[in-house]
Amino acid sequence: MIKLIVGLGNPGKDYQTHRHNAGFWFVDSLATKFDVQFTAKSKFLGESSSITLGNKLTHLLKPKTFMNNSGGSIKSLANYYNIKSDEILVAHDELDLPIGTVKLKMSGGHGGHNGLRDTIKALDTNNFYRLRIGIGHPGTKDDVVDFVLSSPGISELKHIESSMNNAIEVVDSLANGDFEDAMLRLHTE
**Long-range pairs for 160-166 at CB < 8 Å and ≥24 separation?**
160/22, 160/25, 160/99, 160/100, 160/133, 160/134, 160/135, 161/25, 161/29, 162/100, 163/100, 163/101, 163/102, 163/133, 163/134, 163/189, 164/22, 164/25, 164/26, 164/29, 164/102, 164/133, 165/29, 166/102
Active site residue 92: no
Is residue 43 within 8 A of residue 98, CB to CB? The reply is no
CA-CA distance, 77 to 182, in Å (whole number)?
25
Residue among 181, 173, 74, 174 nearest 125 (CA):
74
Catalytic pick from 18, 20, 59, 113? 20
- Report the catalytic residues: 20
